[in-house]
Amino acid sequence: MAAEAKHTCYEGCSVQSFQFYLEHSGEHKAILECVHNILPGEFQRIAASKSSLDVLGVGSGGGEMDIQMLSLLQSSFPAVPITADVVEGSSQLTDNFKVLVAKTADLQKIPFSWHIMHSGDYEKQEKAKGDMKKFDFIHMIQMIYYVDNLAETAKFYQSLLKNNGRLMIIVEAANGGWDTLWKAYKKELCVHAIAEYRSSGEVVACLKSLGLKYEEHVIPNSFDITECFNPSSVIGGRLLNFMTARDHFYQSFIPEIRAGMLDLLRNKCSVEKDGKVLFNSNLSCILVHA
């Protein structure tokens, strides 16, 4: 799901678990497809008559998505100077991001400012400074689960938008597999970094309550979780660990809870096709206006 957490930032084993999930879920590919469909038109609107462009990534993880979006922006406006600020709680993932930047020749002329901290701490730091940097494009991909106060976070980051700016929030879709699992087992799952599970349903309701203008785009995605129903499968075990935010799925829950989760995953969160169990991991891309 996400690459930023307040209490348990992605370090060590958590980074490996996250990368393993990305390899198996096709999530980044689905997000990239959406980004390449939607952002060129948005960037044209955002950049109209501007002499420079400032981008902020919040919870950027290893930077795989940021690199793609910055490259897209730069190729659209090669003569316009761009700055990139990055807020990420994991020092290990930030290091991965820096390695990617170093390997991407086109991005060498973009100055990066690194803020290795939780998004809430960045908010406090900027408010304390008084003179807050404003941005043309802010993105929060798969990190909204970890913020303490959704409304305050949305309000703060939207307030950092410059004229015609956009805040892009990508989050699991309402009524998708993640939403179904984490809400059904809230008591068992919302105990560590994620204290309150949120999908696009909560984000949209929050934006409406704040009176903010937005539009929502569905990002279709699913991935094969057939191995999750084979107790001796290493792949299945690792996927279950990530999906329940545990190091050891089988040791973390009593047998009744485990059985209930597996039943829910198979029958309410997935569809069966050609002998495979395909988990509904649709996402939502929400563009909030300045």
Q: Does domain 13-224+280-289 have CATH number 3.40.50.150?
A: yes
Domain spans of the chain?
13-224+280-289
Higher pLDDT, 225 or 7: 225
For 78-134, how does the pLDDT look when each residue is reduced to its tens digit (9 = 90+)? 999 999 999 999 898 899 999 999 999 889 889 999 999 999 999 999 999 888 999
For helices 150-159 and 200-210, what crossing angle results, to 10°?
Answer: 60
- Does residue 10 carry a pLDDT above 60? no
Q: How many CB atoms lie within 10 A of CB 92?
A: 15
- Distance between start and end Cα atoms, the chain: 26
Confidence grade of residue 13 (pLDDT, cut at 50, 70, 90): low
pLDDT of residue 190: 86
For 252-289, how does the pLDDT look when each residue is reduced to its tens digit (9 = 90+)? 999 999 999 999 999 999 999 999 999 999 999 999 99
SS3 content of the chain, % helix, strand, coil (to 5): 50, 20, 30
Q: How many CB atoms lie within 10 A of CB 170?
A: 26
pLDDT of residue 247: 86
Query: Helix (H, G, I), strand (E, B), or coil: what is residue 214?
Result: strand
Please work out, in degrees rounded to the nearest 5, the angle formed at the alpha carbon of residue 47 by the alpha carbons of 152 and 220. Answer: 65
Q: How much is the pTM?
A: 0.91
For 204-231, how does the pLDDT look when each residue is reduced to its tens digit (9 = 90+)? 999 999 999 999 999 999 999 999 999 9
